[in-house]
Structures are given as C-alpha cells and as structure tokens.
Chains A and B, each alone.
Chain A
Amino acid sequence: MRMTHAKGNKMGKVVLYALSTCGWCRKTKRLLDKMGIEYSYVDVDLLEDKEEDEVMKEIERWNPKCSFPTVVVNNEKCIVGFNEEKIKKAVGYE
C-alpha cells in the first residue's frame, strides 16, 4: 500500500490513517510535523477500491468504528481521533 513518509526524529513506528478532506486529520498531520517525528500516513479516500478495502480491514483491527484520524504507534497503541495529549504520550514525546 502506498504510504507517504514524513522524515523526522525516530520515535518508533507511527502510522496515521487519514482522509484528505478531514479537518481533524489535517490537524493531526500538523501536530506530527510540529513534533518533528518520523511517521507514515495514508489518505484512505484517495485509494483505489481494492486498496481501500484492505486498509479499512487493517484499521478495523485497531479501531472497529473505522473512523479518522486513527494513529497506530509501534503496532501496539492506537489513538482514535485528534487528541494532542494522547498522541504525544503514545509516542513518548516530552
């Protein structure tokens, strides 16, 4: 699947599932950029149908509501929605 990689300080594997049209997803990207950490993201609404189905199954494992934004850290923690504090805590950002 096509993930876009944003370079930055390595704080573990940070994956953001987003929609290109969503304001809270945009705020999440901005927050991760501001934190200056390395992460990958995918705008699910821009994918082809087949890829979209695959990614939605992946998201469902972490977040059964399949809502956006969903952030998964190190394949173990999941943060649903835009919550600055929770995101910072999950990646261990001081």
Chain B
Amino acid sequence: MSSTDISAEEVDRLYERLNKEAEEGGYHLNPDVEFAKDLIRGILTNEKRYGYWGCPCRLACGRKEEDLDIICPCDYRDTDLSEHGMCYCALYVSEAVEKGEKELTGSIPERRRPAKERKKAKSEHPRKSVSSLPLPVWRCKVCGYLCAREEPPEVCPVCKAKKERFERFM
C-alpha cells in the first residue's frame, strides 16, 4: 500500500492530537512540520497495513506481540531523546531542538536489538516479583511511569501509551 492512500485531513487531525498530547506531557514534536506530518502519514499507513502504529522508520513484522516495543511512541523514544535530542525517526525532539538551540543533522543509531537477539533475551529473562508487596507495581515501558495497583491503567497518564505497554515491575 502506498502512503498516498491516507488523506491530508487524516494526517492533520492526528498531527493536532499528537502535538497537543506531546505538549501536555512535556514532549515536543519536530518543529519541521512537513517532516513530522510525513512520519505521521507513515504511522497511519502502518495502522492500515498492520492494525497498529508501527514505527515509520522500522520494518514491522505484522505480529503485534512481537512489535509492541516499536508501536509509536516506541520503548526507545525517551532514552533517545535524552541521549540524542530526538527519537529514532525524529518525530519527537528535545526542548533544545524544538527551540532551535540544537540542530538535527542526520539519523541516530538504532537502539532496538536485531530480531535474533530480541528472541533470545525474551526467553532468558523471566519476570521477577516481590510477593510481599500488597500490590503489584506496573511500569510503563515507554516513559517509565510507575503505579501500584491490581492492573495497569487503560492508558498511561503521562505518555498515553496503552495498557499492553506496561510490564510488571515488582
């Protein structure tokens, strides 16, 4: 499917929404609006293709469980923002970049591990738990928000990631 199947209105609508949510949560979209909108068009294209917001700069495999880490905003966004002032795609940027104090000249290294290593890591790290706690602690894998309750929230109150992106932390 080509990216042109998405209408300009759809792209604009999602841009407005993401921009509002980003600013409310202390994040910033790339001030190059055309660049940001092209990426948002890519996210919408991936939604049509795969049924989820696969990162536009990474190749999704089409199986949601295996791609949870690269559903936008991906698990790597915040670390890349701290280290490089941008997420891998540069849809999200740091405040310095947004204000024009820092310039982006090129792409940054891929933080996601290759498929083989991801599979291996998954089988090697069973979940730890501290059974003496009165409630389990859940961690948002996107932004690190923690909460102690029976179940993770439907949507992360900080970064708006969905429930499925939470992991049991303690």
Chain A residues in contact with chain B, CB under 8 A?
19-26, 44-46, 52, 56, 64-69, 80-84
A9 to B3, CA, bound (A): 29
Given A45-B59, A66-B59, A68-B57, decide whether A22 and B89 contact each other with a Cβ distance below 8 A. yes
Please pick, from B57, B108, B112, B114, the residue contacting A22 in the complex, using a CB distance under 8 A.
B57
**B109:A21 contact, CB within 8 angstroms:** no
In the bound complex, residues from chain A placing their C-beta under 8 Å from that of B105 are: 84
**B108:A81 contact, CB within 8 angstroms:** yes
In the bound complex, residues from chain B placing their C-beta under 8 Å from that of A65 are: 110, 112, 114
A8 to B163, CA, bound (A): 50
**B38:A23 contact, CB within 8 angstroms:** yes
**A22:B56 contact, CB within 8 angstroms:** yes
Name A's interface SS: loop
**B59:A23 contact, CB within 8 angstroms:** no
A68 to B110, CA, bound (A): 9
Interface residues on chain B, size class? 20 to 34
Chain B residues in contact with chain A, CB under 8 A?
1-3, 35, 38-39, 41-43, 45-46, 49, 56-60, 89-91, 105-110, 112, 114-115
**B38:A82 contact, CB within 8 angstroms:** no
**A26:B38 contact, CB within 8 angstroms:** yes
Looking at A22, A52, A68, A69, the one whose CB has the most chain B CB atoms below 10 A away is: A22
Given A20-B3, A23-B57, decide whether A81 and B109 contact each other with a Cβ distance below 8 A. yes
A83 to B105, CA, bound (A): 8
Given A21-B45, A66-B114, decide whether A83 and B59 contact each other with a Cβ distance below 8 A. no
**A21:B106 contact, CB within 8 angstroms:** no
A44 to B57, CA, bound (A): 11
Q: Can you pick out 24 interface pairs between chain A and chain B where the beta carbons lie within 8 Å of each other?
A: A19-B57, A19-B58, A19-B59, A20-B45, A21-B3, A21-B39, A21-B41, A21-B45, A21-B57, A22-B56, A23-B39, A23-B91, A26-B38, A45-B49, A45-B59, A45-B60, A46-B1, A52-B59, A64-B114, A67-B58, A67-B110, A68-B59, A81-B109, A83-B107
**B57:A25 contact, CB within 8 angstroms:** yes
- Give 9 closest A-B pairs by Cβ, nearest first: A21-B42, A81-B107, A21-B56, A67-B110, A22-B57, A24-B107, A82-B107, A83-B106, A82-B106
**A23:B89 contact, CB within 8 angstroms:** yes
In the bound complex, residues from chain A placing their C-beta under 8 Å from that of B89 are: 22-24
Shortest Cβ gap from A18 to chain B (Å)? 10
A67 to B90, CA, bound (A): 15
